[in-house]
Structure 1
Amino acid sequence: MIVRAIAVILVLELVACGYLFVQRAARPVPMLPEKTLMNPLFAEDIQPLVKQVAQTNNAYDWMRLGEALLGQGYYSHAELCFRRVLKLMPESRLAESRIAYCLERTGEQNRAAKSTGN
């Protein structure tokens, strides 16, 4: 009886750990510019945002990270963050406008027209 109870508990723990492992592995990791190309102070300041995004994977944190990258001129990296926001919240017009801005700044008008459906 005790052996059977221990076996059931062990199986339940394995299933729970497997589920949590798959959830953690499925979270996207933010793409950041190479550290040697970044301002050292900005690289330090952005680390808490990166950790927050990696832990929560919610649209608000992705938006904050994208805004930080946008403010420093890392348009292509910010675009990736805003695209993640759009996947999490398809109704976000702010994310769409930020993507369009990033595409305009990087000179990719063809992709901007395709992403808005025009």
Structure 2
Amino acid sequence: MDSANATKTSSMSGLRPFGVAPILPAQREKISCSVPGFSDLEPLDLIGKYVHFLDRSLITPVTPDPQAYDAKVVAVHLGSLEDGIETSLLLKKCDDAEALNYVNVSDLTVQSLLR
């Protein structure tokens, strides 16, 4: 009889032990945004969307201005600021379908939502 129910999921499998709080960040980082009507955006809301970004991570002495480009947000990496890990987006640039790059949220400004 026990072997007949061996693959059945326990009704208690999704519960945490009493007194154990879930580990969630107190406040997630937001992406600065210059789109009218939005002040900041949740990174998770951008997954799968095409966005026109202004990227300050590409600033060098040769290119002192932030670069703008269109990219699809493929994934979000939620970091822990307490541990020095920033939240970042995995971006696929529209002009280079092969390249995927993580960019810290603090380096990005959303200029417009494309689709």
**Range class of TM-score, shorter chain:** under 0.3
Q: Greater share of helix residues, 1 or 2?
A: 1
TM-score where L is the length of structure 2: 0.27
TM-score where L is the length of structure 1: 0.26
Q: Greater share of strand residues, 1 or 2?
A: 2
Structure number with greater CO (CA < 8 Å, separation at least 6) is 2
